[in-house]
Amino acid sequence: EGASILKDQAEEVIKIASTTPKEGNRKAIIMHEVHLMQPSAAARLLKTVEEPPTGVFFVMLAEQVDESLVTIASRCMTIHFGPLDPAVIEHVLTSEGIKLDVAEVAAKSAHGSLTRGRLLAADKQLAHRREFFANIPRRIDGTGATVAAIVEQILSLIDDSVAPLQQRHEQEIVDTEKTLALMGVKRGGKKALEDKHKREIRRFRTDELRNGLTEVASVYRDELARNEHIHRPEGYVTAIHRLHEAMRRLGLNVNEAILLRDLIWSLPSPSADAALQFVLEGNHE
């Protein structure tokens, strides 16, 4: 699916590193989404990262460092980049002609990414998705049928959310083909562009799912803050931890449907707990 960095791609990086720079005497190789690198690819790339050819520098971008990347990370200088403040993204979007209310919602859901903020500003279903995720806890009724329906609807909404990005990709393909034609090149870089688009779509899906699960977690957090007599508060705390663990795992190569099914099945129902609390309080009177 283009979502992993495979051993063959690591071999290609090694090959590129071994060639002389086209201009000057230094070469920078930028690797995106290194957290998606498979262990076999990481092992193959390790020696080249440890002892790069003279003048070759690796810039490796990753959301997180998992066990398979610890050794490579130990050979690198780590620089942490924080997300942009939502106010900054909102200001840029409004300066580009986006309505204030749309820019505000998009900026809050952008996770610090201006690129993502621009895509969300063009997404007419953003508010609907946020409302859908916020209602998930109250729909849970302890049945597998409801869990299956919720997961199916989540994946359908996420599929639809990718549309603005796919439109941008289509335009990028057209622009690339025009550029190659002007250069007199019939074909070139098509596979690399397709892989780039697949990775961008996967990243966007992951971000949208994380954004949705954040909405779900906020429901349980608000319930804990609002009701000091809530039934089974430890269940809500556990739910929040499970939601954040699921968000973390989404950065890896996981099956979205299976992860969501197991997660939703494990979550408590505020509606059922409220009804039970009402019954218990009635029995005490």
Show the low-confidence residues of the chain (pLDDT under 70): 1-4, 183-189, 272-285
Helix axes of 270-284 and 190-226: crossing angle, nearest 10 degrees:
10
Nearest Cα to 247, choosing from 283, 214, 225? 214
Q: Which tens digits make up the pLDDT trace of 180-227?
A: 777 666 655 677 788 788 888 888 898 889 989 999 999 999 988 888
Write down the pLDDT at residue 60. 92
Query: Does residue 1 lie in a domain region?
Result: no
Beta bridge partners of 31: 60
| Domain co-membership, 142 together with 271 | yes
Locus of tokens 């996981």: 254
| Domain co-membership, 190 together with 139 | yes
Query: Does residue 91 lie in a domain region?
Result: yes
Write down the pLDDT at residue 175. 85
| Domain co-membership, 140 together with 263 | yes
Nearest Cα to 204, choosing from 231, 164, 173? 164
CB neighbour burial string for 29-42, b if at least 16 within 10 angstroms, e if fewer = bebebbbbbbeebb
Write down the pLDDT at residue 38. 83
| Domain co-membership, 131 together with 267 | yes
Write down the pLDDT at residue 277. 52
- Measured between alpha carbons, how far is 96 from 93 in angstroms, rounded to an integer? 5
Query: Does residue 284 lie in a domain region?
Result: no
Q: Which of 65, 94, 122 is the last residue of a domain?
A: 122
| Domain co-membership, 102 together with 237 | no
| Domain co-membership, 134 together with 273 | yes
How many domains does the structure of the chain reveal? Answer: 3
Query: Does residue 285 lie in a domain region?
Result: no
What is the residue range of 98's domain?
84-122
User: Taking CA 256 as the corner, what is the angle to CA 254 and CA 261, rounded to the nearest 5 degrees?
Assistant: 115
The pTM assigned to this predicted structure is 0.67
- Measured between alpha carbons, how far is 49 from 14 in angstroms, rounded to an integer? 9
| Domain co-membership, 158 together with 28 | no
| Domain co-membership, 108 together with 149 | no
| Domain co-membership, 88 together with 217 | no
Contacts of residue 115, Cβ cutoff 8 Å, sequence gap at least 6: none
Write down the pLDDT at residue 232. 81
Write down the pLDDT at residue 280. 44
| Domain co-membership, 165 together with 97 | no
- Measured between alpha carbons, how far is 275 from 1 in angstroms, rounded to an integer? 45
- Measured between alpha carbons, how far is 210 from 112 in angstroms, rounded to an integer? 13
| Domain co-membership, 264 together with 132 | yes
